[in-house]
Chain A
C-alpha cells in the first residue's frame, strides 16, 4: 500500500469539473484509491462522493493506493493533484 499527502491550493477546492477529470484519471488504474479528509473518506473513482467531501482550499487530504499498479498510480495521481488542485 502507498500513501500520499496533499494540500489543496485551488481557490474553489476540489470542485465539479476538475473533480470529474480526476475521477476519470483514477479509473484508468486497477488499484483501489481512497481519499481521507479528517474522519471522512471516499473512493476516488466516485465523483459525487468525492465532491460531497467538499475539500476546500488549504485543507489537507490523504490518499491511499492499494493494488497491483499502486506505484505508478500513486505517481500519476500525485502529479495530477499538483497540477490541478
Chain B
C-alpha cells in the first residue's frame, strides 16, 4: 500500500486501475536530409492534416463544452494557416537541409518564444497555443497515435498535466478519476473535473510510472490517492462512494424544483461566486440566482487597477449568463486580509478595523467610479443588484449612491445603455445592525455577511487559532443581530438575505426561516442540500426548543 498526497478539486471518491497517460516521446533528428523537396511535401501534408484535426476538435468541443471553449481550436487553425510560420519552417528544410520534424520544432518554438516575450499577458498565453499546434503537427509527422493514449478500459488517468487539446480528446465515459502532477485550481484539468463532477487530484508531486495498471482509490475527501489499497480500505471507501452516488441521485431529483417548505414558505436559494469561472457550478447545482459575486477577483488577478472595459466584460458575462435570474455584485472589498500592491495601501496596526472596502472607494472616487460605470453598463444585460460592503453609517450609502447616479448620468450622456438594478448593502458590522431602520430607508435589500458580523460582534479574530475556545459560530448575540436586521428590513418593506457561511449551516436553516430570512446565498455545492432541508420543514407549528 502506498499513499500520495495532492490537492483535490471535489469531495468525491474514484476507484479503479491506474492508467499512466504518457505523452509520446519526440525523438527528433538533427541529421541532414537528402531530399528537401520531399520533406517540404511531408511538412505541407502534415500541416494540412493538423488543420483538419483542429476542425474536428472544434466540433467536438462545441458539442461537449460550448462555443467559448471551442473557439480556441478555431484560433489554432488560423495559426497553422499562417504563411510566415509555414515559410519559416520550409526555409529551414530547404536552406539547412533538415527534416520536417526538426523544422516544425524550430520554427514553431521560435514563434512561441516571440509571444512569450511580449509584455501583454494575454499574448504571452498564446505561446502555449503555438506549442499545442506544434505538437499536433509533430504527432502527424511521427505517426503518434494520440487517440489510444487513454487505453480502452475505464481507469483513473495519471498525467503530468493536460493541454486543452488533450482534455477534449479524452473519452469521458472511460474516466474514473484524474490525477496530475501540475495544474492549479483554475487549470483546464480542474475546470474539466468540476464540469464533469469527476474525482480529481492535482499537484500530486509523487506520481510515478510504476503505478501503471495498479488498483487505486482517489480519496477526494482527504486529498490523497491510495495505491494498492487493503481490503478494508477498499470496502470502506467503496461504501462511502456508493453513499455519495445515492445522495447525488436524490439531490439531482431536486433540480428544477422550488425551495419551499411543507407549509408553503418560499425561500430563495442563491449561490456565492468569485468569478465567471464559477458559473458552471452555479448552473450544475441549479442555484436560483447569485446572491454574492465577490468582485475582488478582477482586482486580485491583475497587476494594475483593472480598466472599465475589463470589468464590464466580466460582469456582463455573468449577468448575461444568469439572466433572467438575479446576480448581486458586491463592490470592491479589498483591504484587511486582501491587499493589492498597486493600491499602495499603508500598513495598518489594525487592518480589520482599517482602511478597507467602501472606505477606500469613497476616498478614491475615480477608482470607485471605474467599477460603478462597468457595473451600470452590465446592468443592461440582465437582472442585477449592486451591493456596498462594510457600511456603518447612513451617509456612506447616500454618498455612494450619489457617485452611482453621477456615473449613470455620464454613461447615458455618452450613449451607453443602463438597465434597472437593485441597490443594497452588506450588513456586517454591529453599527449597521443597530442602525438598520435608518439604513433600510436608503436601499432595496440587506445581505448579512455573517463572517465579519460574528468577528465584529464577538470581537474575535476568526483567523486566530488560539481563540477557538472562545469562539462560537452560533453565539446568541449574532443570532439576535440577524433577527434584528430581518425585522428592521421588513418594517421598511425590503428583503433580507444571508450570504455568509452561516447561511449554509443546516442546523440553523429552520431558525433563519422562522426569523423570516428571504434569501440564503451559499457556495454552489450547498444549494441542493439546503433545498432538501427547506422542502422538509414545516413552519406552521411552534418551533421545537
Instruction: Please report A residues at the B interface, Cβ cutoff 8 Å.
Output: 9, 11-13, 15-17, 19-20, 23-24, 45-49, 51-52, 54, 56-57
Q: List, in ascending order, chain B residues with CB within 8 A of A46's CB.
A: 82-84
In the complex, how many residues of chain B place their beta carbon closer than 8 angstroms to a beta carbon of chain A? Answer: 26
Residue of A nearest to B306 (CB): A11
- Name the residue among B118, B120, B123, B313 with the largest chain A CB count within 10 angstroms: B123
B174 at the interface (CB under 8 A from A): no
Task: Tell me which of A12, A13, A16, A45 contacts B75 (CB under 8 A).
Answer: A16
B343 at the interface (CB under 8 A from A): no
Residue of A nearest to B313 (CB): A11
Instruction: Please report B residues at the A interface, Cβ cutoff 8 Å.
Output: 71, 74-75, 77-79, 81-85, 111, 114-115, 118-120, 122-123, 126, 129, 307, 309-310, 312-313
Task: Tell me which of A9, A24, A45, A51 contacts B123 (CB under 8 A).
Answer: A51
Cβ B307 vs Cβ A57 within 8 A? yes
Cβ A16 vs Cβ B120 within 8 A? no
Task: Tell me which of B78, B115, B122, B307 contacts A52 (CB under 8 A).
Answer: B115
Q: List, in ascending order, chain A residues with CB within 8 A of B123's CB.
A: 15, 51-52, 54
**A48 smallest CB distance to B (angstroms):** 5
Q: A11-B309, A20-B78, A57-B307 are in contact. Are A49 and B84 (CB under 8 A)?
A: yes
Residue of B nearest to A45 (CB): B83
Q: List, in ascending order, chain A residues with CB within 8 A of B120's CB.
A: 13, 54, 56
The number of inter-chain residue pairs (CB within 8 angstroms) is: 56
Cβ B85 vs Cβ A48 within 8 A? yes
Q: List, in ascending order, chain B residues with CB within 8 A of A45's CB.
A: 83
Roughly how many angstroms separate A17 CA and B118 CA in the complex, as a whole number? Answer: 18
Q: List, in ascending order, chain B residues with CB within 8 A of A12's CB.
A: 122
**A77 smallest CB distance to B (angstroms):** 17
Q: List, in ascending order, chain B residues with CB within 8 A of A23's CB.
A: 78
Cβ B78 vs Cβ A11 within 8 A? no
Task: Tell me which of A17, A24, A48, A54 contacts B71 (CB under 8 A).
Answer: A17
**B304 smallest CB distance to A (angstroms):** 12
Q: A17-B78, A54-B118 are in contact. Are A48 and B310 (CB under 8 A)?
A: no
Q: List, in ascending order, chain A residues with CB within 8 A of B122's CB.
A: 12-13, 15
Residue of A nearest to B308 (CB): A11
- Name the residue among B85, B120, B129, B313 with the largest chain A CB count within 10 angstroms: B120
- Name the residue among B81, B84, B114, B307 with the largest chain A CB count within 10 angstroms: B84
Q: A20-B74, A20-B78, A54-B120 are in contact. Are A48 and B111 (CB under 8 A)?
A: yes
Roughly how many angstroms separate A9 CA and B416 CA in the complex, as a whole number? Answer: 14
Q: A11-B309, A11-B310 are in contact. Are A47 and B115 (CB under 8 A)?
A: no
Q: List, in ascending order, chain A residues with CB within 8 A of B119's CB.
A: 54
Q: A11-B309, A54-B123, A57-B307 are in contact. Are A48 and B79 (CB under 8 A)?
A: yes
Task: Tell me which of A9, A24, A48 contacts B84 (CB under 8 A).
Answer: A48
Roughly how many angstroms separate A49 CA and B115 CA in the complex, as a whole number? Answer: 10
